[in-house]
Amino acid sequence: MTGAIRILPGDWSPPAGRPVELVLRTVGERTTRLALGLAIRHIRPRRVHIAKNIRPLARAVDRQVHIDHGDASHIVHVDADCLILEDMRPFLDANDLAYVDCFVHDRFRGRVHCGVHITRADLVRAMREVDVGAESPAAGRGPMLRPEAFRRHLARRGLQPDVQLKGFHILHDHFQHYHDLFAKYALREVRSRTESGRAVLESALLRWGDDLDFAVARRAILHSRSVVPADVTPHALGRYLDGLPELAARVVGELRLPDRPRLTMAEVRKTVACAPQTLGRAADRPKVFSLGLPGTATRTLVEALHGLGFDLAHYPLGAADLAALRRRDGDFPALRHYDGLTSVFALASLTELDAQHPGARFVVTVRETESWLRVVERLWNTGWPPGAPTAERAAHREAAYLFRTRICGGETFDRVRMARVYEEQLIRVQNHFARRPRDLLTLDICAGEGWEKLAPFLGRPIPPGPFPRV
């Protein structure tokens, strides 16, 4: 049992900004010093907490969620392997959601969401109350391999039904010490032992080059596969994970790799300048709007768009966005920070959004009508848990009411009426783009359509790896 949490003296928050706090977690990464400075500059927190060398991981998470943040609105948790290169304050001052996970550019996996998490203070408090021991038998190794995500998932169910994802210019796992890379990728191999996780890892391996970073990560993966059996017991897995830092130091020491000098901002800038299309800020992107009705694989579409570099707000339930939905004027504040909207928010304001965003791209997801009716009937009365905060429940109810009355023609589920609604909405969308067919893509994800249609439509190369399924 090691490590401590300390508070830095100072207050960096802007005069009119929200009270936001920063928690930086470090185990001595090479990027720690720069990561701290960049996080302070681009988050401008009221207070900074540094969690240093707290092991094991489950204990670190427990200590982290018990930090007293006073009347803070949100807490940004940042791993020291993340270099934030973009001002996050405008988004932090506008965001009301309980949880937003941030996309980063990972040295080994490309665009992924990890390392920087925006968490509302009430969700952090709820994470304290999660009984990990009681849930762990059904959760398998989740509490051991991903203790923070596991706690957050259980606590979030009463606050926010979906994870909202948002991209920022952040580098993850670049410039690290070799022993840290070994420990990370030995752990990642164990975490990837699911069908989907294995496919993602294998796809990443195919893109790796031959430099030392990739060589060390490959060696770590092979080591984990050779010494951690598929049927490893929780006790044995815990021992392996606890011993990873020492194991990594020993293996890397035996390789006699050169020490890396102290990291400088000049090295970071040079690396970004050498690969501006990959590591730099995203180029101006057109807005993208998903017009498919719920139940037509809209969440899968959002996940796929994230993979292509477009961050869509899926059901933004802020008060100002709901007001825009009521007015039907298309003036959604979420569009100041996101690349597009989905579902009722986009469909109900199609004409206005199209007029306000020249060059925008529109995707309508479809599926076989009877299959869609079965899904919608099952989801029709789904709501948030009774224990959810009043504001969240009220926002969800209002969005559902507006969807049912404006698009579905009634608050009760009726198969005949809903079948007619489905056909009418599709015809309405197709008629709107009758003279501009290139601005609309009709996509039947449920029938197997995916990258081969979506990526060219948005001018993106087809990504490696399978099309997501949510």
Q: What is the pLDDT of residue 317?
A: 66
What confidence score (pLDDT) does residue 137 get? 45
Does the structural domain 2-175 have CATH classification 3.90.550.10?
A: yes
Band (pLDDT 50/70/90 cuts) for residue 449 is very high
Q: What is the pLDDT of residue 400?
A: 85
389 phi, psi to nearest 5 deg: -60, 150
pLDDT digits (tens, 9 = 90+) for 39-52: 999 999 999 999 99
Q: Tell whether the model's pLDDT for residue 56 goes beyond 90.
A: no
H-state helical runs in 66-191: 89-94, 121-128, 132-139, 142-145, 147-156, 178-191
The CA–CA distances, whole Å, from 52 to 24, 79, 181 equal: 8, 11, 18
Give the pLDDT band (50/70/90) at residue 138. very low
Alpha helices by DSSP H, listed for 15-68, are: 32-43, 57-65
The angle at the Cα of 307, spanning 306 to 312, to the nearest 5 degrees, equals 10
| CA–CA dist 360, 190 (Å, integer) | 41
Name the pLDDT band for 162 (thresholds 50, 70, 90). Answer: confident
Answer whether residue 283 shows pLDDT above 60: yes
Task: Read off the tokens for 155.
Answer: 């606590």
Annotate 349-377 with b (16+ C-beta within 10 A) or e (fewer): bbebbbeebeebbbbbbbbeeeebbebbe
**Is 231's pLDDT higher than 60?**
yes
Please check the confidence at residue 249 and state whether its pLDDT lies above 70.
yes
Question: What pLDDT, on a 0 to 100 scale, did the predictor assign at position 252?
Answer: 94
In DSSP terms, which residues pair with 116 in a beta bridge? Answer: 78
Q: Is the pLDDT of residue 139 over 60?
A: no
Identify the pLDDT of residue 261: 93
**pLDDT digit string, tens, across residues 353-401:** 999 999 999 999 999 999 999 999 988 877 666 667 777 778 888 888 8
CATH 3.40.50.2300 given to domain 288-457:
no
How confident is the model over 251-261, as a mean pLDDT? 92
Contacts of 80 (CB under 8 A, 6+ apart): 24, 25, 26, 27, 29, 31, 32, 35, 36
Query: Is the per-residue pLDDT at 142 higher than 60?
Result: yes
The pLDDT of residue 259 is above 90:
no
Element containing residue 169 per DSSP (H, E): strand 164-172
- Tell me how far CA of residue 167 lies from CA of 257, 308, 333, 450, in angstroms: 34, 11, 17, 22
Span 62-82, mean pLDDT? 96
Tell me: pLDDT of 134 over 70: no
Q: CA 134 to CA 379: how far, in whole Å?
A: 29
- Domain residue extents for the chain: 2-175, 191-259, 288-457
Q: What average pLDDT is seen over the chain?
A: 90
Q: What is the per-residue pLDDT for 386? A: 67
- Alpha-carbon distance of 21 to 40, in angstroms, equals 10
Per-residue confidence (pLDDT) for residue 304, from 0 to 100: 94
Token pair, residue 459, equals 């001018």
Q: From CA 252, how far away is CA 24, in angstroms rounded?
A: 26
Composition of the chain by helix, strand, coil, percent to 5: 50, 15, 35
pTM over 0.95: no
Q: Looking at residue 136, what is its pLDDT?
A: 45
* Phi, psi of 293, deg, nearest 5: -70, 150
Note the pLDDT tens digit of each residue in 392-437: 778 888 888 888 888 888 889 999 999 999 999 999 999 999 999 9
Share of the chain above pLDDT 90, in %: 67
pLDDT at residue 465 tops 90? no
pLDDT band (50, 70, 90) for residue 135: very low
**Angle value at C-alpha 452, between 446 and 457, nearest 5 degrees:** 100
Above 60 in pLDDT, residue 306?
Answer: yes
Mean per-residue pLDDT, 291-311: 92
Written as one letter, the residue type at 141 is: R
